[in-house]
């Protein structure tokens, strides 16, 4: 069985871990799968009806929406990375293996918003394993959830 501490070798394995995270935090979850080169967002140059990549593999992408606060969606790409959106703040290029830790940081209250005085700005700061922090500039206004985590 794959746990959220293991390497996530596939999109399906990552979805299974996201389902267990949703269950752990009592969140609703909706999952949409896009399978095939003609369906996935990063393979838009694939011809109509072309389902495999040139190497013969079948790309699989998933879009996951999690209920509750903050509003979170995760797009799992076939290239081992993800786009996580937190209350309108897009966090691109998150390694697929870091997605579970990223979500745990959000739901366990470890993430915060760093306010910068000059030039004015806000950053979403999400701690990850091995003393790393995902830092994302907030282009949109602060939601109540984000505003409540400002330091």
The confidence score (pLDDT) of residue 48 equals 52
What 8-state DSSP symbol labels residue 37?
T
Look at residue 51 in the predicted model and tell me its pLDDT. Answer: 52
pLDDT tens digit sequence for 93-133:
999 999 999 999 999 999 999 999 888 899 999 999 999 99
The whole-model pTM stands at 0.84
Is 70 part of any domain?
A: yes
Choice between 27 and 117, residue whose per-residue pLDDT is larger: 27
Q: Give the end-to-end CA distance of the chain in Å, rounded to a whole number.
A: 39
Could you give the number of structural domains in the chain?
A: 1
Mean per-residue pLDDT for 77-104? 95
Q: Domain limits at 29?
A: 11-147
Q: Is residue 3 part of a domain?
A: no
Q: Examine residue 69 and state whether it is found in any structural domain, yes or no.
A: yes
Q: In terms of C-beta density within 10 A (0-12 exposed, 13-18 middle, 19 or more buried), how is residue 103 classed?
A: buried
């Amino acid at each position: 069985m794959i746990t959220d501490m293991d390497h996530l070798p596939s999109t399906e394995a990552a979805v299974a871990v996201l389902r267990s995270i949703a269950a752990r935090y009592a969140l609703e979850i909706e999952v949409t799968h896009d399978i095939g080169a003609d369906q996935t967002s990063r393979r838009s140059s694939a011809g109509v009806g072309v389902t495999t990549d040139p190497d013969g593999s079948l790309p699989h992408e998933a879009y996951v929406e999690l209920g509750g606060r903050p509003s979170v969606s995760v797009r799992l790409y076939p290239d081992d990375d993800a786009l996580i959106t937190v209350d309108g703040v897009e966090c691109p290029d998150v390694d697929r293996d870091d997605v579970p830790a990223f979500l745990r940081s959000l739901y366990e209250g470890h993430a915060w918003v760093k306010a910068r005085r000059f030039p004015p700005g806000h950053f979403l700061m999400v701690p990850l394993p091995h003393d790393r922090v995902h830092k994302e500039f907030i282009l949109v206004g602060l939601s109540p959830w984000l505003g409540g985590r400002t330091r």
